[in-house]
Amino acid sequence: MAQYDGRQYRLRAGSPMPTSVKGRFVLHSFMASQQDSVIETCDAEILRSGDFRGQGGNFTSASYQRLPLTEERYSGKSTTNELYIEEKINFP
């Protein structure tokens, strides 16, 4: 079973605010959200309702597509709870 782990970042920001210069705006951001994602082939089972946030689990979303010409095999992507981090990230 192939599995790919990834990470998504999303900047959290308010509405653009106008400045004293006509046509210029400032975007105020406040932290960023980080979510871990897993893309895999599921042949044993998919996530159940109890695995999601609000039902006692840690997952926020999942989607599955049945693979063509196979029986009961799915390609799926699942995402865990958000972690709020500072916007500045130092990449090597």
pLDDT tens-place values along the chain, 92 residues long: 567 888 888 888 888 889 999 999 988 878 888 888 888 777 667 788 898 888 888 888 888 887 776 666 777 888 887 788 887 656 55
Residue 89: the pLDDT is 58
The answer to whether the CB of 41 falls within 8 A of the CB of 67 is yes
Residue 1: the pLDDT is 55
Residue 91: the pLDDT is 57
Residue 31: the pLDDT is 84
- Which of 35, 37, 48, 39 lies closest to 76 in space, CA to CA? 39
Tokens, residue 39 = 């893309």
Residue 61: the pLDDT is 86
Rounded Cα gap, residues 57 and 8, in angstroms = 20
Angle at 9 between CA 48 and CA 90, to 5 degrees: 140
Rounded Cα gap, residues 81 and 56, in angstroms = 12
